[in-house]
Amino acid sequence: METVLITGGAGFLGSHLCDRFLREGLRVICVDNLLTGDPDNIAHLLGNEYFEFIKMDVTKFIYIPGRVDYILHFASPASPIDYLQLPIQTLKVGSLGTHNVLGLAKEKKARFLLASTSEVYGDPLVHPQPESYWGNVSPIGPRGVYDEAKRFGEAITMAYHRTHGLDTRIARIFNTYGTRMRLGDGRVIPAFFSQAIQGKPLTVFGAGNQTRSFCYVEDQMNGLLRLLFSNECEPVNIGNPAEHTVKGLAELIQKIVGSDLEIEHHPLPTDDPKVRQPDITRAREILGWDPQIDLEEGLSRAYPWFKRRVATMLEQENS
């Protein structure tokens, strides 16, 4: 049986990857220090004989006994609130952590996939963003700790590929949403759902004309697996190219929740990207991948989970 190791495996995307690889018939080792990961995301897997959880900080010494065939490096704070509150940890996991995990992949002769991000493009001057675009990033801005950590991660991944012949993949992941997102992590979809379900005004930064492209988690999993099992070593955008304004997203969530709440406008955060849309030409040509689930359908699928999560949160606050 082949074995896959997933760092950050108790996080939003990492836990969905654990589920997916178990369904595909692989043994899964989930590594997470639970800094931003949630044990609830993997609780349903703890009785599975082919699943192992190891609490570990990958910025420190890593030891994993036995065979490992694939390593997916998803360990990192990954939301605006996280990396603004945890700037040093974000930089360390993107640099020291990536270096350590690449070393493990080299030792195990495992294929390595780096979870990079659309944030490597910064506040882009090219729209939509192809993989050939080098980005417009402020290295000293508040978001720079995440942006530059991921850019370094890509650089060291390619260095290991070129120097050691390591079998590597780089996924530039665009905004993804679905079940298991943290309500208070600062991302727009859990924020809007949480506010709408509680009957609170929806907070929109600026006029709400800034755009985002949202990929449902099931589509994201399909894209990541196709990339992992492809022969492509250079970065590939994995995201949904359908572009939506933040204000339009707020109105759509109002429709799904069945509310007509006030929208409150707040100043735009520093370095907040004005546009974000992936050019997925390479993913279509190389991977034969295209997202299948549109935003309204994906939000409708995710809504019951968010509703239960908000109810649980309110119960805990009132107990």
| Domain residue ranges in the chain | 3-177+215-238, 188-212+242-276+294-318
pLDDT at residue 229 above 80? yes
**204 pLDDT band (50/70/90 cuts)?**
confident
Q: 164: pLDDT confidence band, cut at 50, 70 and 90? A: very high
Q: Could you tell me which of 101, 81, 94, 102 has the C-alpha nearest to residue 36?
A: 81
Element (H, E) at 170: strand 168-173
Percent of the chain predicted with pLDDT > 90: 83
CA distance 14 to 26: 15
* Average of per-residue pLDDT across 94-99: 98
Give the mean pLDDT of the chain. 94
Query: Residue 235: what pLDDT?
Result: 98
168: its two tokens: 């590597």
Q: What are the residues facing 212 on neighbouring strands?
A: 244
pLDDT band of residue 42 (cuts 50, 70, 90) is very high
Rounded to 5°, the CA angle 147-153-157 comes to 150
Question: Domain 3-177+215-238 is classified in which CATH homologous superfamily?
Answer: NAD(P)-binding Rossmann-like Domain (3.40.50.720)
Q: How many helices (H) and strands (E) does the chain have?
A: 10, 13
Closest CA to 127 of 277, 24, 241: 277
pLDDT at 299: 97
Position 180 scores a pLDDT of 97
Residue-wise pLDDT for 248-290, tens only, equals: 999 999 999 988 878 888 887 766 678 889 999 999 999 999 9
Average pLDDT of span 56-78: 96
Query: Residues 147-154: what's their mean pLDDT?
Result: 98
Does an H or E element contain 112, and which? strand 111-117
Q: Please determine, for residue 181, whether its predicted confidence score (pLDDT) is greater than 80.
A: yes
Residue 124 pLDDT > 80, yes or no? Answer: yes
Give the active site residues. Answer: 146
The CATH H-level superfamily of 188-212+242-276+294-318 is UDP-galactose 4-epimerase, domain 1 (3.90.25.10)
Q: Same fold for the domain at 3-177+215-238 and the one at 188-212+242-276+294-318?
A: no
> Model's pTM, two decimal places?
0.95
Cis amide linkage into residue 128, ω under 30° from 0: yes
Please report the pLDDT score of residue 271 as a whole number.
61
Classified as helix, coil or strand, 40 is helix
Asked if residues 133 and 121 have their Cβ atoms less than 8 Å apart, the reply is yes
Rounded percentage of the chain residues whose pLDDT exceeds 70: 99
Rounded distance between C-alpha atoms, residue 310 and residue 26, angstroms? 33
